[in-house]
Amino acid sequence: MPKASLMRVVNFVAMHHYGRPDRPEAWNQARFGDQVHPHEHEYQLEVMVEGEPDPETGFVVDLEELDAVLAVIVGPLDGTSLNESIPEVRDGVMQPSTESLARWFWDRIRPRVPGEARLRRIRVWESGALAGQVGA
């Protein structure tokens, strides 16, 4: 049977700002401009999984189980500052860019995808048309 895919979309609101703690304020301002100041986005996380549909249900993945995984990972970020909520950002080893967030979500969701499905793609959208993506 051919593989099929399922995309799940989760929305959350969070603040972030850019900056390197090891650089002077003037360097950060020159590099990141107004983005050094905290600002809020309505984020959209798209998660695509693929696999063989179960012959009895027709499902690639148990949606309730996938939703539970996403709730555990995404839920704690909703309404927060990503600069404080994500340890790698707080520690200055990661910028909270859409590209970095896509990789961060990938690393946490991939090993927890339920059943025989596999994670195929993660896409993170900020308010507007800016998106970061990881996957095939």
Q: Domain range holding 127?
A: 4-135
* Per-residue pLDDT at 125: 93
Q: Are 18 and 101 in contact (CB under 8 A)?
A: no
Closest alpha carbon to 60 in 2, 136, 133: 2
Amino acid at 125: W
Token output for 107 = 């690393």
- Predicted TM-score (pTM) of this structure: 0.91
- Find residue 131's DSSP bridge partners: 125
Q: Looking up tokens 């959209």, which residue turns up?
A: 44
The domain tally of the chain equals 1
Q: What is the pLDDT of residue 5?
A: 96
Q: What is the pLDDT of residue 2?
A: 74
Question: What SS3 state is found at 49?
Answer: strand
Residue 108's pLDDT is what? 98
pLDDT at 129: 63
The phi, psi pair for 93, rounded to 5°, reads -100, -5
Q: What is the pLDDT, as a whole number, of residue 127?
A: 81
- Residue 98 gets the label, from left (phi > 0), alpha (psi -120 to 50) or beta, of alpha
pLDDT of the residue at 36: 96
Looking at the chain, how many residues does it have? 136
Instruction: Write the CATH number for 55.
Output: 3.30.479.10
Per-residue pLDDT tens listing for the chain (136 residues) = 579 999 999 999 999 999 998 999 999 999 999 999 999 999 999 999 999 999 999 999 999 999 999 999 999 999 999 999 999 999 999 999 999 999 999 999 999 999 999 999 999 999 866 666 666 5
